[in-house]
Amino acid sequence: MKAVIFDFDGTLANTLPVCDFAFQHVFKKFDQRELTSEEIRAMFGPSETGIIQKNLIHMNKEEAIELYYTKYLEHHAEFVEHNKEIEDLLRHLKEKGAKIGIVTGKARRSLDISLQALGMESYFDAIITGDDVINPKPDPEGVFKVLHLLNAAPQEAMFIGDSDADIQAGIQAGVFTVGVHWLPDFQTLEFAVAPNSSYNTVSDFMASLADRNS
C-alpha cells in the first residue's frame, strides 16, 4: 500500500464526545433544544459549519458557529485523551514509507485544534476536510482529492474509517476499505456495507500490516 487514508473523528482520535458537547451547547442556547448524541451524529456529513447552517432554527448562525468552536477548543482537553497506540501506528506507517492522508467531514478549523492538541500535525502528507469538498462522504469526492494529492492510484490505497459513510466513500473510490471500532466512541456499530476488512484493536491492524508485508 502506497497510501493509507484515515477518517478523523472516531478513527484517529476519540473526538466524538467533544463534538457532541459543543453541538449540544449550541442547540440548547440558540434553539432551546436538548439533543442526544444520536440525534447530533445523524446530522453528520457536512462540516460543523454546514451542520449548524442546515439544522439550527435560530437566525444568528454565525454566532452559533463561533460558539461551537469556542466550546470545542475550551473542552478538548477534558474530553479527548492522547492515544499512544494511534501515534505508534502513524509513526510505523511513516517509517515504512507510506504516504498518510486524512479525509474528514470536519472543518479545517476544528481539525487543526485537535491535531495541535494531540501533537499529530507532522504525520500527514495530505488532508481533505469538509471545507474542501462540495459533496461530503459517502460521496467519494474527498477520497479522490486526497489520492490526487498523494499521487496514488485507488488500487495503491486503503481508507480506514468508523462510519458507513467512510466505507461507502472508499468503495465508490475503488480503494481497499477498513472498518474500525478501536476507539471508545465510533459512529457505526454495524456497517451497512461490509468493508474489505475490519478491526477492533489497533494492535490487530498493525499485525495485519506485518502479515501483508511478509
> Mean pLDDT across the stretch 105-109?
97
Q: Are strands 3-6 and 176-180 parallel, antiparallel or unpaired?
A: unpaired
pTM, to two decimals:
0.95
Q: What pLDDT is stored for residue 214 in this prediction? A: 57
- pLDDT higher than 60, residue 89: yes
Do residues 183 and 10 touch, judged by C-beta distance below 8 A?
yes
- pLDDT higher than 90, residue 155: yes
Grid cell locating 13 = 482520535
| Residues annotated as part of the active site | 7
Q: What pLDDT is stored for residue 213 in this prediction? A: 66
Q: What average pLDDT is seen over the chain? A: 96
Q: What pLDDT is stored for residue 72 in this prediction? A: 98
14-55 pLDDT, tens digit per residue, is 999 999 999 999 999 999 999 999 999 999 999 999 999 999
Q: What pLDDT is stored for residue 210 in this prediction? A: 82
- CA distances 137 to 88, 90, 142, 150, 177, Å, are 27, 23, 7, 19, 14
Q: What pLDDT is stored for residue 189 in this prediction? A: 85
Phi-psi map region of 174: left, alpha, beta (phi>0 left; psi -120 to 50 alpha): left
Q: What pLDDT is stored for residue 174 in this prediction? A: 98
3-state SS, residue 194: coil
Rounded Cα gap, residues 119 and 122, in angstroms: 8
CA neighbor of 46 nearest in space, from 112, 110, 130, 111: 130
> E strands of 68-141, at which residues?
99-103, 126-128
Q: What pLDDT is stored for residue 64 in this prediction? A: 98
